Amino acid sequence: MHRQTFALAIPMILSNLTVPITGLVDTAVVGHLDHAHFLGATAIGSLIITMIMWAMGFLRMSTTGLTAQANGSSDGYAIRQSLFNAVLLALAISLIVLVLRGTIWQLAMAFMGASDAVYRFATEYFDIRIWAMPALLLRYVFIGWLLGMQNAKVPLFILFISNLVNIGLDILFVVYWDMGVAGAAWASLIADYSGLVIGALAVYWVLKNIPREKESRPLFESSAFKRLLGLNRDIFIRTLALESVFYIQTSVGASLGDNILAANAVLMNFVMIMAHGLDGFANAVEALAGKAFGKKYHKEFWDALVTSGFWSLICSGFFVLLYWLIGEWMVRFMTDIPEVRNAAFVYLPYLVFVPLIAVWSYWLDGIFVGITRTSEMRNSMLIAVIFVFIPAMFSVKLFGNHGLWLAFYCFMLMRASGLVYYLIKLERKQLLC
């Protein structure tokens, strides 16, 4: 089980770490321009795109869970159907988002206390980057499906190529061609479509090796599609609640001034790197637990949980050590602006210990995705946001930006506690395999 976990987790950790690199590279390149509002604008524009993507994260999660269970039961038809339904849904959502892009931006910025300069350049970034939505959503589907098939190496290759393109074009457009915030957005857009092409070719290659049934059946079945929509509805609500946390954080940070906004943006980039790194073992337990659940092997299921949980904790300790040792250097790398650097140094200790607080919710999410128990994920998230995070936000009036980070800590702890409660409840009812 350790070997299986690492065979999935290590490529997925590397894959996941490349995901926030798009925003990280954009922020790092723009962070060396002359004014803080360029960095703040890129942070907000990238955040809104990321929030939309997170809201659509159900495409990857549900695809992984359904495919892993179909793979466990050796059902080639169900494997193909999970891919087909997810692609269909991704294309439909992409069309809706592009049609409503203006309304989405206005709603996202309605309560964002940003300066006029930040608002103007953030709008410029968003108007370009939003056209990557079809590529981003289809990439979610392809990566989720490949992971459900216990193939973690191909997603690494997809994300490696797209981020390599993004880094190269960021340097070309922003540093050499002086295109500013728009250059960062165009670099990300082109990189996203590069990843889509690689992903489509990879999925086609894997599909060819899956035996077909003798009697062909239509891939679209209303019952299967309704089940997918039901799973996605719960994950969507759960993700919107999670996004509200980051939106509120950014909005309140913006009201504390451009320097605080920019400093939080720098630190939150490293939180995203940590989250995507820890998600590697969560992704592993999605595939392994989902496959054991599909085979109805109880011991294998719990072996996957314990093994992935152990290595998730070890990985979180690595991030604590990393941020403690080179956190200040990373901040200096991200920006040359003295006021932003000094503000980031003040709140750096919060970043150092975030991994130990957040690791449990990421690992537990992976378990519930694998067994497609999405209603429990939804409920635990709503409880953590409504009854813990939002009340804790009132501490900002007393402690300023310190209160913002303390509220985030409380939210993460409550989120994990809710998932533990539901996991114990399912085991007592003998609903786990």
Q: Contact, 141 vs 86, CB < 8 A?
A: yes
Residues 64/70/75/76 CA torsion (nearest 10 deg): 0
The token duo for 210 is 């899956």
Confidence (pLDDT) at 190: 93
Side-chain half-sphere exposure of 241, counting CA atoms within 13 A: 23
Global pTM? 0.74
Residue type at 393? M
Read off the pLDDT of residues 287-330 as tens digits, 9 standing for 90 and up: 888 888 878 888 888 998 999 999 999 999 999 999 999 999 99
Residues 362/363/368/371 CA torsion (nearest 10 deg): 140
User: Is 120 a domain residue?
Assistant: yes
Nearest 5°: the CA angle 121, 123, 127 is 125
* Residue whose entry in the numeric block shows the structure tokens 């690791």: 359
Q: Is the pLDDT of residue 247 over 90?
A: no
User: Is 40 a domain residue?
Assistant: yes
Q: Is the pLDDT of residue 47 over 80?
A: no
Confidence (pLDDT) at 322: 94
- Residues 233-260 as b or e (16 or more Cβ within 10 Å = b): ebbbbbbbbbbbbbbbbbbbbbebbbbb
Q: Contact, 154 vs 206, CB < 8 A?
A: yes
Domain residue limits at 354: 2-428
- Total residue length of the chain: 433
pLDDT band per the 50, 70, 90 thresholds, residue 27: low
User: Is 375 a domain residue?
Assistant: yes
Read off the pLDDT of residues 154-168 as tens digits, 9 standing for 90 and up: 888 888 888 889 888
CA–CA dist 174, 25 (Å, integer): 11
Supply the mean pLDDT for the chain.
85
Confidence (pLDDT) at 32: 58
What angle in degrees, to the nearest 10, is found between the helix axes of 36-55 and 338-370?
10
Radius of gyration for the chain, computed over Cα atoms and rounded to the nearest angstrom = 21
User: Is 433 a domain residue?
Assistant: no
User: Is 156 a domain residue?
Assistant: yes
Q: Is 430 left (phi over 0), alpha (psi -120 to 50) or beta?
A: left
* Residue whose entry in the numeric block shows the structure tokens 């920019």: 262
Helix H, strand E, coil C: the string for 184-230 is: HHHHHHHHHHHHHHHHHHHHHHHHCCCCCCCCCCCCCCHHHHHHHHH
Q: SS3 of 5, please?
A: helix
User: Is 247 a domain residue?
Assistant: yes
Q: Contact, 121 vs 41, CB < 8 A?
A: yes
Percent of the chain clearing pLDDT 90 (strictly above): 30
Q: How many domains does the chain have?
A: 1
Confidence (pLDDT) at 345: 94
Helix H, strand E, coil C: the string for 106-152 is: HHHHCCCCCCHHHHHHHHHHHHHHHHHHHHHHHHHHHHHHHHHCCCC
pLDDT band per the 50, 70, 90 thresholds, residue 242: confident
Confidence (pLDDT) at 420: 94
Q: SS3 of 148, please?
A: helix
The token duo for 168 is 């190269």
User: Is 211 a domain residue?
Assistant: yes
The token duo for 326 is 């080179």
Q: Is the pLDDT of residue 34 over 60?
A: no
Confidence (pLDDT) at 16: 67
pLDDT band per the 50, 70, 90 thresholds, residue 396: confident
Confidence (pLDDT) at 352: 95
